[in-house]
Amino acid sequence: RIVYVNGDYLPEEEAKVSVFDRGFLMADAVYEVTSVLDGKLLDFEGHAARLARSLSELDMQAPVGHEELLEIHRELVKRNDLVDGMIYLQVTRGNPGDRDFVFPDPETTRPTLVLFTQSKPGMADAPMSKTGAKIISIEDIRWGRRDIKTVQLLYPSMGKMAAKKAGCDDAWLIEDGFVTEGTSNNAYIVKGGRIITRDLSHDILHGITRAAVLRFAREAQMEVVERPFTIAEAKEADEAFTTSASAFVMPVVEIDGVTLGDGKPGPIAKRLREIYLEESRKTAT
Ligand code: PLP
């Protein structure tokens, strides 16, 4: 696999970052994951815009301009013959040559930029999208700026492990009884034909897939309500689902052992997955 590191395309064995890099020492880094279907990027513009926002919220410099970023994505797809899969991108505040809590001077410490590909053949037909996901709920104890896509992923990772241990697929995070989001996705319920998902704030990541799916839902005359919902309300919903760049629209069929509807992916989740894949392929670049 060919990996991009600070201007170079290298075999992955040769791609290296310093032990003093603040991404490694302090999780002082942000990331993006962009899906690739049939060799084309899904919603590159959305991911680039969110990256710019994450960087600006943390007073971090952009390592390259917009056009160059697109060029790097395309070049990696080409060099790795990527058909279906994703591109992972990470920007760190760089390597100041020492460990210090104080941010280094951006004049002397340049950000680190790393991108690599992950092949996921047939990702549009993932088996779980046919059966639906089983989820558990756990307390949301993450920091208060979840709208910034940082690499602080230890707690979400522990959440996924807790789900696996319970024989489930993923976890939803709960704050004051309300669902914030999934470990790596946005959360939705459907009740009486109405799609309900938490409104945007610092409490959740502003999903690129969320924005697209809500737009498609409204265009298809589905009713969308953006408001917090409780985990109790979710267990009484007709259906539920999650969205993310890497899993698209994923039906949820069980929450904390409670079966939703008939235990199969719901019609609205299935329809939205179809629409999302169809429309995203059309605008893929
Ligand atoms: N929420 C969290 C916490 C995430 O980590 C992710 C994706 O990684 C999402 C939501 C979904 O965002 P997107 O649709 O941009 O992938």
Atom of ligand 1 nearest to the CA of 50: 15
Atom of ligand 1 nearest to the CA of 211: 14
Interface predicted TM-score (ipTM) over 0.90: yes
Q: Name the residue with the closest Cα to ligand 1, atom 9.
A: 185
Both 189 and 86 in a single domain?
no
Q: Contact 4/12 with Cβ under 8 angstroms?
A: no
Its domain, for residue 91, covers 2-121
Both 109 and 159 in a single domain?
no
Give the per-residue pLDDT at 150. Answer: 98
Q: Indicate the residue among 121, 140, 172 that finishes a domain.
A: 121
pLDDT digits (tens, 9 = 90+) for 227-250: 999 999 999 999 999 999 999 999
Give the per-residue pLDDT at 247. Answer: 97
Cα 56 to chain center, whole Å? Answer: 19
Residue with structure tokens 């999934």? 182
Both 108 and 245 in a single domain?
no
Give the per-residue pLDDT at 113. Answer: 98
Residue 220 pLDDT grade (very low, low, confident, very high; cuts 50, 70, 90): very high
Both 114 and 140 in a single domain?
no
Catalytic residue from among 149, 191, 235, 282: 149
Both 117 and 132 in a single domain?
no
User: In CATH, what number is assigned to the domain containing residue 114?
Assistant: 3.30.470.10
Q: What is the pTM of this model?
A: 0.96
197 Rama class: left (phi>0) / alpha (psi -120 to 50) / beta: beta
Active site residue 149: yes
Both 253 and 141 in a single domain?
yes
Both 75 and 96 in a single domain?
yes
Q: Indicate the residue among 94, 121, 148 that finishes a domain.
A: 121
Both 147 and 108 in a single domain?
no
What single-letter DSSP state applies at residue 98?
S
Residue 128: how many CB atoms within 10 A of its CB?
15
Q: How many residues does the chain have?
A: 285
- Domains held by the chain: number: 2
> Is the shortest distance between the CB of 244 and ligand 1 below 6 Å?
yes
Q: Indicate the residue among 90, 121, 152 that finishes a domain.
A: 121
Strand-pair partners of 114 = 5, 90
Both 116 and 215 in a single domain?
no
User: In CATH, what number is assigned to the domain containing residue 259?
Assistant: 3.20.10.10
